[in-house]
Chain A
Amino acid sequence: MKNFTYGRASSVEEVIEQANRDRNAMYIAGGTNLVDRMKAFLDEPSQLLDISRLEMQSIERTQDGGLRIDALVTNTDLANNANVRRDYPLLSRAILAGASQQIRNMATVGGNLMQRTRCAYYYDTAFACNKRQPGTGCPAINGINRIHAILGASDRCVAVNPSDMSVALAALDATVEVQGEQGQRDIPFVDFHRLPGDTPERDTNLEPGELITAVVLPPMAFAQSGVYLKLRDRASYAFALVSVAAAVELSGDQISTARIALGGVAHKPWRASEAEAFLQGQTPNQSTFEQAADIALQEAQPLAYNAFKVDLSRRAIRRALAVSSRGGGIA
């Protein structure tokens, strides 16, 4: 491990400046992912800029009735927030489906968005990995790829984004507020994470030195019937094999709007826009949900060990849509 310095940030502006002065510096918030990565020699920062004590810890109503969530709100506080539980229950459930209570107590919104893949090949320096060392190759493509991507992968990388919270945020049309040397900008959530393409070393469109300051949720009445369904190898404390965040808005006996995002299947939280478009105006029944699920997975390209995920994703979508169209709750 390279020696590094550690310092506590005193203001947003100052810490951004520090990060821009030294491109090998890294922000640290809860540390639940970065410290693990450092121990595994995946990141070797020159400085740790501890942002965890900055005044970015609140959740507030926006003027239009949405919510503005500061980047340093812990996963626990966000999941337990009364407004979130009432208005965006799928976000609360997604967070509570992740990690463990102790980790959620430390983990922050910003850190969760920036956590990196759990691909075993990425995590062990005994293997080549294009994400860790661009150009060295991807042994996962022909390796043990049971947990890997079925959508949007490239011949450079088949890793998946591990976050649960991000799947819900993708379905909720959130916006990520970031701040850099040039000032502040907003990134629509679906554009925040990237597909691997030729640059799998880049997970997100955050520019070097930029800091996530908040995530903003637009008002969305039908999010109250939203559902988060996570399927995994054990009942708790495991990353998703497949997860679905879904919400259905009904007008009369027709679907007026639908949101579907998938986790565990791609390098980014995967919005199933075509399936959403299809659902508009349909009657909410089993056959509609089946068709929507088929559309969502039509581009799927399974690898040797993960074909089951295609089927499992379809089933999870059908279930989540069905539960949401009945008013939501636990799927």
Chain B
Amino acid sequence: MNQIIGTSVSRKDGRAKVTGTATYGAEHQLPDLVHGYLITAKIANGRILNIDTQAIERSPGVMAVFTHENMPRVFTPTNDWANSQIYETRLPLADDRVHYGGQIIGLVVADTLERARDAAHSAAIEYQEEPVLVTAENATYEDSPPWFGEDFQFQEGTFETGDFAVAAADAPTTLEATYNTETELNSPMEPHALVAHWQGNDSVTVYEPTQWVRVSQGTYAELFGLPTERVRVVSPYVGGAFGAKAFPWPHGILCVAAARELQRPLKVVVSRRQMTANTGHRSQTEQTVRLAANTDGQLIALEHTARTCTSPVEVFSEPCTAVTPVMYATPNLRLGQELAVLNVGTPTFMRAPGEAPGMFALESAMDELAWELGLDPVELRLRNETQEHQRRGGVFSTKNFAACLSTGAEQFGWSQRQMQPRSQQQGDRLVGWGMAAATFPGYRGAAMAKVRLLPDETAHVLTSANDMGTGAYTMVAMTAAENLGLPVEQVRVEIGDSIMPDGGLAGGSQMTATLAPAVMNACQAVLETANAENAQQAFASLQESGRAAYEATGSAAPGEEGTEFTFQSWGAHFCEVTVDEDIARLQITRWVSVMDIGRVLNAKTAASQIRGGVIMGIGSALMEECHFDPASGHPVVYDLATYHVPAHADIPRIEVTFVGEPDLNFNPMGVRGAGEIGIMGVAPAVANAVYHATGKRIRSLPIIPDKII
């Protein structure tokens, strides 16, 4: 084994993407296609009194208008996260209520996009406005419900072991600090979009980017009362998602419903502006961390509480405290999560949901404690390592956190650090060094893949999984190539279609751990079918026998290993910032990330994933924030000019190194995920470096010039 696994292979889909031949959701061309454009609310709370649909219908090219008064019937899905799920459990156009600014309140269908858009824009709508609440400080918080329902007990809002209050009271050192993060937008490059094509009333094809083809299929089937196999979801390419394209959103349901009424293929593209309210975001958070420690830095007690916000029509709490029991050992641990309702769109998963903002609070607080104790922050972390998940139970199957810290420190030159803040300078700029830990759970689901060996000496792998830019195509090809004994170029991969075997979810960083073992099994199965040891032998016997193909399907799923072990990835970031304090100009100048993600399947794309995570983390550290107008409740951040993500000039060279070992308790390939761990700990590493540079502790993200001067 391992001729190919672990090497660097360029993306199989790279050429199609850069030459524009990769077909994204909205790019599927169908004859007789018509165009829908969403009508969105100009108030953020209240009722619709009237929509002048007759005027809209008279607008040139308009074929139909859908509002709450003529919304076609759809069924409420079971929403069990396994067979069906919609992001916002209020169905689109369910009634005359407006819950948040920019909410979808109608759909215009016309012969061209421009005409649909024009009619939607000039729609005359009367509202009855009610007071809006978009300011978290004025909201009422309540204990937040468990995440994902009762099955995921360990994620529940409150948790306590030991007795925090008693333990903290006697501790020699205590620290309490409150941290804030702002509303963040997932902002994938590809906007949300779909084309729905019905064949009569009893079968539909949906061309839509999705992170979970099979559940998307199941959900549309339930919504429209169809047998699952009568729905086909086609999603060969996903132009970024970051959590916001796993399940149907209201616009998708509305598009499929309208297409059935019209019996024409219908395309709906959500404009960048409409995405702010209607395709998810990461809630703002307010978190308080209290630490109590011995003089040698041993944690005696740790409390982490978080407040996050949701929309009036969905319960989604950003699980900031999920990361806390994983990181540092303490006999007295208390966690709490509260949730408030605001008149804002429905929040959802965004790369490392909860974990990323949670880590900002925890790793900032650990840095503060290190300063308080006069300890090296690397050393403080080493002294408090835990070997088990303190909430869920289970020892970590593999853990090379210490190696991440030591390798990173060495590469970065951490030992050269001048301890005192404001003590390093470069010209008239202050230089600061900061570090923070990273961790992310190893998740894995069930998946299947089909492998075909063909007489032209290629192998063909088919699975419904998808590639949202992560490198899944290449990962599948490499796994097959390795197991069949073929060069990667001889493997063709087709993914992202529900007619193919269920390839699982690209979310929670689990696609590789889920799918690679299934591909491996499928390869072994097809060689058995061919009675061959490798693909060459199988090809030879195809030649001899004149057979068209050997074909086999393989599957893989987690077993009981989760009862004994907890699977977790680890990492550390080290960074350097320079701060021109007088004019509040901050630049990140060096970055070193060291990661333990189990076996690294494709060294190139795995490092890319980490870099992408670091870049997104830098965005959250320095610039990303969405605000809502306090009076009207409408978002005032709604495109890529008002919502800043990093430009090249903001990003230094990012050195990525992998350490650790294959996690063979987790799956036979020994791989965990790389998708989310990269963003973990990035923002606190930056904030900690800013403190080292300036002596100023910035506890609210993003670190914008306002906060530096």
Contact = CB atoms under 8 A, between A and B. Distances in A.
Contacts of B638: 120, 124
Kindly name the residue among A118, A229, A315 whose own CB sees the greatest number of chain B CB atoms within 10 A.
Answer: A315
A308 interface: yes
A120 B632 CA distance: 13
B419 interface: no
Contact of B623 (A121, A126, A144, A233): A233
B706 A146 contact: yes
Interface residues of A, number: 33
Given A1-B118, A312-B709, A235 B647 contact: yes
Q: Is the interface of B mostly helix, strand, loop or mixed?
A: loop
B648 interface: yes
Interface string B623-642: 10001111110101110011
A155 to B, nearest CB: 16
Given A231-B584, A308-B709, A315-B584, A127 B623 contact: no
B585 interface: yes
B623 A315 contact: no
B367 to A, nearest CB: 24
* Interface residue tally on B, bucketed by range: 35 or more
A294 to B, nearest CB: 15
A239 B628 CA distance: 20
Contacts of A120: 636-638, 642
A2 B102 CA distance: 23
A165 interface: no
A286 to B, nearest CB: 11
A142 interface: yes
A126 B634 CA distance: 8
A124 B273 CA distance: 9
B273 A237 contact: no
A118 B644 contact: no
Contact of B583 (A121, A146, A319): A319
B629 to A, nearest CB: 5
A225 B629 CA distance: 43
Interface string A212-238: 000000000000000001010111111
A140 to B, nearest CB: 9
Contacts of A241: 705
Interface string A265-278: 00000000000000
Nearest to A119: B636
Contact of A308 (B102, B628, B706): B706
A205 to B, nearest CB: 27
B644 A234 contact: yes
Given A229-B583, A308-B709, A319-B582, A234 B623 contact: yes
A127 to B, nearest CB: 7
A315 B622 CA distance: 21
Contact of A139 (B102, B631, B647, B650): B631
A121 B636 contact: yes
Contacts of A319: 582-583
B99 interface: no
A234 B646 CA distance: 7
Contacts of B629: 121, 127, 139, 143-144
Contacts of B118: 1-2
B709 A311 contact: yes
Interface in A278-331: 308, 311-312, 315-316, 318-319
Interface string A120-147: 1101111100000000000100111010
Contacts of B584: 231, 312, 315
A315 B582 contact: yes
Given A126-B40, A143-B630, A233-B705, 17 more contacts: A1-B117, A1-B118, A118-B641, A124-B634, A126-B632, A127-B634, A144-B629, A146-B706, A233-B644, A233-B704, A234-B647, A236-B648, A237-B647, A238-B647, A308-B709, A311-B709, A315-B583
Cβ-closest 5 pairs across A and B: A235-B649, A236-B649, A308-B706, A120-B636, A236-B647
Interface of A: 1-2, 41, 118, 120-121, 123-127, 139, 142-144, 146, 229, 231, 233-239, 241, 308, 311-312, 315-316, 318-319
